Amino acid sequence: MKRIGPFVVERRLAPSRGAVLGISLLAVVLALLVAAVIFWGYGVNPWHAYRVIFQGTLQSPQGWAEVVRRAIPLILCGVGLVVAFRAQFWNIGAEGQILAGAVAATGVALFSGLPDPWLLPAMFLAGFLAGAVWGMIPALLKVKFQVNDVISTLMLNYVMMYIVEWLVHGPWKGPTARGFAYSDLFPPAARLPLIPGTRIHWITLAVGVAMAIACAFLLSRTKLGYETRVVGQSQDAARYAGIDFLKVTLWVMLISGGLAGLAGAGEMAGVHYRLRSPAHISMGYGYTAIIVAWLARGSPLAAVVTAVLFGLIFAAGDVIKVALAMPFQVTDVFNGLILFFLIGSELLMYWHVRWAPKRAESEG
């Protein structure tokens, strides 16, 4: 306990919901202020920049639609990462798992020869499985060979990125792509319907929200969810409780990687309709989803909300790129700054400031 003037500062065991929300918002605002300095240093009037962003995103229905469209892959990946983080598995590999899903979905769309009505379900299934496999490799390596999960998941991002590069420059380069590094366009039956007037592929959105609900149920109401939480709390406790660490880790990464794979399949079937260079498919959704999950503090449902917040940042990046001719990397600057302030403010949440003026008799 510390006394500052008439205030008493105490430490709490668990932060209150209000403190978490208030301080998180404050952190985001501070990050935007620092970003304003960077805008200014870049020669752009920050006031003008933020006004342009606001007009381009939140002031029109089309702007909102773009925010939601950008949020779709973030919801799926963010929910998956929440599950992984609950088991203390550091899945930094959603980016690669998205790409794995995109590759599998492309394979099905272009080469499976399935009848039209089966095409889209098969693409999503293939995307899920590919993402899951790409996520389960590091799980296996961690449990069996103590390979650090941060490193293995990250390295697999690069491996998958170059596999996609290879596919679009080599074997899958479309004969109709006129020399560009694209695959052929998907047939119409392999494309998702959009909400008219927007670019929202609502089926993927619905899948994402459904997965968030399913994962919330899984974590709070099932045996696997319980085991996941125990493993996340303490691996020793999990061992004493007879929990199979390998099984839990594999399941968690099946879900986490699988959801990222679904996001990849959704981007293919709903946005791009063809495999293209990895930087165009994902633009860092997998990394941004880490912040989405971190902000959601272990709740898959909260991840839906935080995903929309970062969908806004992506949409803002698009606006800035067009209106102010600034590169899309602005979003990385925003993301990094927001994350800095969020984790920097974490300690604050445990402080409770109380108005308690000293009374004369209690002094000394």
Partner 1 sequence: MGWEEWLISTIGRALAYGAPLLWGTLGEVYAERSGVVNLGVEGMMAIGAFSAFAVAQSTGNPGLGILVAAAAGGGAALIHAFLTVTLRANQYVSGLALTMFGLGLSGLLGRGWEGIPLKHPLSPVTVPGLAEIPVLGPMLFQNQSIITYLGLVLAVVLWVLLYRTRWGITLRSVGESPATADALGVNVYLVRYLAVILGGILAGVAGGYLSVEYRPAWTEGMTGGMGWIVIALTIFVAWDPVQAIGGAVLFGALYHLSYRLQPWVAPELLKLMPYAAAIIVLTFVGLGGAQRRRGAPGALGVPYARGEK
Residues interacting with partner 1, by CB under 8 A?
38, 41-42, 90, 92, 141, 144-148, 150-152, 154-156, 158-159, 161-163, 165-166, 169-170, 287, 290, 294, 326-327, 329-337, 339-340, 343-344, 346-347
**Nearest approach, Cβ of residue 177 and partner 1 (Å):** 16
State the nearest-atom distance from the C-beta of 276 to partner 1, in Å. 14
The C-alpha atoms of residue 170 and residue 167 are separated, in whole angstroms, by 5
Q: Are the beta carbons of 96 and 156 closer than 8 angstroms?
A: yes
The smaller minimum CB distance to partner 1, of residues 166 and 217, is found at 166
Residue 280: CB minimum distance to partner 1, A: 14
Nearest to 313 by CA among 283, 280, 342: 283
**If residue 311 lies in a helix (H) or strand (E), which one and from where to where?**
helix 300-324
Q: Which CB sits closer to partner 1, 31 or 71?
A: 31
Note the Cα 206 to chain centre separation in Å.
Answer: 16
- To partner 1, the closest distance from the beta carbon of 346 in angstroms equals 6
Helix (H, G, I), strand (E, B), or coil: what is residue 302?
A: helix
- Smallest distance from partner 1 to CB 165, Å: 4
For residues 34 and 203, which CB has a smaller minimum distance to partner 1 in the complex?
34
Closest CA to 269 of 49, 137, 121: 121
* Beta bridge mates, 355: 7
Nearest to partner 1 of 44, 75 (CB atom)? 44
Q: Are 133 and 257 in contact (CB under 8 A)?
A: yes
User: What angle, rounded to 10 degrees, do the helices at 300-324 and 61-86 form?
Assistant: 140
Question: Exposure pattern of 190-214 as b/e (b: 16+ CB <10 Å)?
Answer: bbbebeeeeebbbbbbebbbebbee
Q: Which C-beta is closer to partner 1: that of 11 or that of 354?
A: 11
Our CB check for partner 1 shows the closer of 169 and 354 to be 169
**Closest approach of Cβ 339 to partner 1, in Å?**
4
